[in-house]
Chain A
Amino acid sequence: MSRIVSTRLVKRFGAENTVARTLMYLAVGFAVFVSFLLALPEPTPPVTAETLENPPPEVSFAIVGAKVFDGESFLPNQDVWVENGRIHRIGRELDVPTDLARVDGRGRTLLPGLIDGHVHTFYGTLSDAARFGVTTVLDQFTDPRLAASKRAARDTLAPGNEADLFSAGMLATANGGHGTQFGIPVEPLSGPDDASAWVRARKAEGSDWIKIIREDGSTVGRDIPTLDQDTVGALIAAAHEEDLLAVLHVSTLEHALEAVALGADGFMHVWRDAIIDEVQAARIAAAGVFVVPTLSVTASFGENSMAPELLEAAGGAPLSPMQRQTLASTFSNSSGETTSSVALENVRRLREAGVRLLAGTDAPNPGTAFGLSMHGELRLLQRAGLSTAEALSAATSTGAEAFGIDDRGRISEGRIADLILVDGDLESDLSLSTRILAVWKDGYPIDRYRLDQERQQTTPAPSAAPETTVIADFENGVRANFGFGWQVTSDQFQGGSSTARLSAENAVLRVEGEVAAGLAFSWAGAIYFPNAQPMQPVDFSDRDTLRFRARGDGRTYHVMLFGADAGASAPPSVPFTTSAQWSEIEIPLARFPTATPGLIAGLAFVAQAPPLGSFLFEIDDVEIR
């Protein structure tokens, strides 16, 4: 058939003519096809730092035609005018000066910077948070010195790459209780009589509120010393006396209800042991107590980690080594599927009862990452029955108001211009929250794409090593001649359950404890931080040897050296053996291969598995020569 057709054509036109015409049609057709593709609509280019032409200090611009989530509800087609780092005006078709820099908001959603209601801050984490739109974190336990060092930044409107930090500082717990295992200094309380002085000391240190631990380990099948009811009550009363909020870590419904009766202001987790009934939920609502359910950490507790979903959604902004590491890690003592469903059901019932809910992640616990996990928490809150607007309120205005931080959390006149612009209509699909086009902190755009540059900015230059070569001789207890000093270190921070205790007896450092099964890599021991800030490097490049004396129970121990890039990879370690006799141990620093030789951020002396079980060793006269 086709042959006949073509033969006829050849007869009528001549073959060459037909070939030429066919080729011409093809060429024209192809040209039309290509020009059609060239004419197809392109997205408006993403907002970058360069879009804003007015340099500091006058941070003024307008976002026009955006859908705005104002902290409570969605408003279509709004203009938001930012003047000197604060929201100047918001409304439809504002009379914005023509010379003001403009950002096209059409087809996009503008929302207040997110407020993570539960984090534990370390160096570098605040910029990790900001890159993903979390412009304020409410820290529920960190080193008070770290919190103090960040206070100036939150009180000024200045360019920076970090989230603002509000913090409880040190937490209130029993001797050996939850919170003492992380190597961060804690002053435990022994009874209600300690409460008043303890709270005053926190206020003097700069704690923004008081965080109290009521945790006996029962939900994870462990027996942990905990503050008793009377001490918790005394702490709450003392906090209120000092005009501070008192928030609690509880894991059981019973402890939560007990704390409500004692006047607690908020809970930093939702309990996972039982489902609350209507009467109990109404009691919490009536007391005005807020709850930060931290469904993110509960999800990874119950092996439903949001990590895979979040890694997929992360988009173009880079994850720091710490974010990758914490997202990838898991709890060793999983409590199974049920805990997350119990937590979700509790949240559903609390919402129905009208209890104030705040979004919080408990980053950097296993399965979470600073910043990114807030977007997972939004999704989890929605799965617990919150509407899109309710989930976003929990992540913005509710947190600001619950903790009395009234200058943020909403897009309204006079508030700080902490803003996120996302691509698309967030109201119709909450999961678009990770499609971030721009984040502004105090009206300044945050560079979300340059992790390395930012790390250089936030990591101070290494301190010079002091004159003395002797780190510690333990003549005056567990002390060092310079630096942050000695801390317990163990796998507990990664979810393990190994323990260690440090003491100085007869002018030597005694390290004892137990390496417990749990993680693939279990360890416990002592760590020394040479810099005034933990895990910040000191330049020892003019030294070449680590020397110390050691004796012990005969097992093999390890020295781990943390370099300038601590956290990016496993630290190099060198073994040493102990016996009942003291022995001199010398290790050339060259045996610890790190990225930048000579820089030391931490030295750990640890027992590693295998074997499991208890250990005891002593070290003395630690020197870097």
Chain B
Amino acid sequence: MQATNAGAPRPPLSRRASIYVLEARAEFLTLARMPAFTVPTLLFPLMFYAFFGVVMKFSPSAPTYLLATYGVFGLMGPSLYGFGVGFANARDSGQLLLKQTTPMPVAAYLAARIATALVFGMAIVISLFLLGAYAADVTLYRWQWFALAGIVLASVIPFCALGLAIGAWVKAQSAVAIVNIVYLPMAFLSGLWMPIALLPSFLQKLAIVFPAYHQAQLTLKVINMDQGGSAGGHVLIIGIFTVIFLVIAAAGFRRVSQR
């Protein structure tokens, strides 16, 4: 990608900013007009939360705990699908090649997808918090509401990186299946669907290998329901995961470029 853009003249700053905004807008509208994407992305976390957190409510603290974990789960959707499936599609359909011939910087392409995931993320956060606060009587201090929303939204970083790593390597036809294989088991095993303490102890020990676990623990720290690891440790591990995913993704790009 870098190679094809190298010779193009560099547009002025205001034009470049416009490129970022327009690309993000286009990306958002593309996804927003795909019910196959929007409906599961927006409804899955809400549906699960309504079921486990509001209707079943297996313990008094469940609605609060699950609000944090389904928030993280909610962000996994747009991040993984947007990057994993979206990128594989763009590449295999030739659209990526088309974009590579335009003066648009590669960063705009990535930023557009991250911004789109964030917008969907905010919609998920709003709907989850609405359900939690008014259907399950969750009350939190103002700083906790903000911190919860902030950390949940910040989980786009590791999940987009993971999506990119998947999208860079798999074929468009198998992208959905591969994303699902990563997405659903990781959510369950990281304690996003039900409290991690309810899982068998060997599964609890296994959970530390998933970035979603660390993201969830970080979120749960806000409401004092985490398993007690240090926040710095979780951030560090998430950072390491993100770097690994980006390296894998970069290797995938190189492979595409060389073809």
Contact = CB atoms under 8 A, between A and B. Distances in A.
A2 B142 contact: no
B29 A15 contact: no
Contacts of A40: 129, 133, 140, 142, 145
Among A36, A107, A429: residue with most chain B CB under 10 A:
A36
A3 B98 CA distance: 9
B21 A2 contact: no
A33 B145 CA distance: 12
Interface string A396-434: 000000000000000000000000000011001100100
B205 interface: no
A16 interface: yes
B22 A18 contact: yes
B25 interface: yes
A201 interface: no
A1 interface: yes
A466 interface: no
Interface in B18-77: 18, 21-27, 29-30, 59-61
A22 B22 contact: yes
Contacts of A22: 21-22, 24-25
Interface string B125-146: 1100100011001111110011
B126 A43 contact: no
Given A29-B122, A424-B60, A16 B146 contact: no
A19 B22 contact: yes
A37 interface: yes
B99 interface: yes
A15 B23 CA distance: 11
A23 B21 contact: yes
B129 A16 contact: no
Contacts of B184: none
A36 B122 CA distance: 11
B139 A41 contact: yes
B228 interface: yes
A603 to B, nearest CB: 40
A511 B228 CA distance: 47
B127 to A, nearest CB: 10
A43 B140 CA distance: 6
Contact of A6 (B23, B95, B122, B138): B23
A431 to B, nearest CB: 9
Nearest to A18: B22
A30 B59 CA distance: 34
A425 B141 CA distance: 19
Nearest to A43: B139
Given A42-B142, A429-B59, A2 B126 contact: no
Nearest to A15: B18
Contacts of B139: 41-44
Contacts of A29: 119, 122
Given A33-B126, A41-B139, A15 B95 contact: no
A312 interface: yes
A37 B228 CA distance: 26
Contact count band on A: 20 to 34
Secondary structure class of chain B's binding surface, majority of residues:
helix
Nearest to A432: B60
B138 to A, nearest CB: 8
A604 to B, nearest CB: 37
A5 interface: yes
Contacts of B140: 40, 42-43
A360 to B, nearest CB: 27
Contacts of A432: 60
Contacts of B201: none
Contacts of B23: 2, 6
B102 interface: yes
Interface string B2-23: 0000000000000001100111
Contacts of A18: 21-22, 25
Contacts of A19: 17-18, 21-22
Interface string A7-50: 00110000110110011000001100100111011111000000
A598 B76 CA distance: 62
B26 A6 contact: yes
A158 B136 CA distance: 42
B40 to A, nearest CB: 20
Nearest to B125: A33
Nearest to A311: B228
Contact of B18 (A16, A37, A44, A312): A16
Contacts of B145: 37, 40
B84 to A, nearest CB: 17
B142 A38 contact: yes
A3 B60 CA distance: 49
Contacts of A16: 18
A495 to B, nearest CB: 27
Interface string B189-210: 0000000000000000000000
B99 A3 contact: yes
B149 interface: yes
Contacts of B60: 424-425, 428-429, 432
B26 A2 contact: yes
Interface in B226-255: 228
Given A43-B140, A312-B228, A33 B122 contact: yes
Among B18, B22, B134, B138: residue with most chain A CB under 10 A:
B22
Contacts of B24: 22
A352 to B, nearest CB: 27
Nearest to A16: B18
B3 to A, nearest CB: 20
Contacts of B126: 33, 36
20 contacts: A1-B95, A3-B102, A6-B23, A6-B26, A10-B22, A19-B21, A22-B22, A22-B24, A33-B122, A33-B125, A36-B129, A38-B142, A40-B145, A41-B134, A42-B140, A107-B137, A312-B228, A424-B60, A425-B60, A429-B59
Interface of B: 17-18, 21-27, 29-30, 59-61, 95, 98-99, 102, 119, 122, 125-126, 129, 133-134, 137-142, 145-146, 149, 228
Interface of A: 1-3, 5-6, 9-10, 15-16, 18-19, 22-23, 29-30, 33, 36-38, 40-44, 107, 312, 424-425, 428-429, 432
Given A37-B146, A42-B140, 7 more contacts: A19-B18, A41-B133, A41-B138, A44-B139, A428-B60, A429-B61, A432-B60
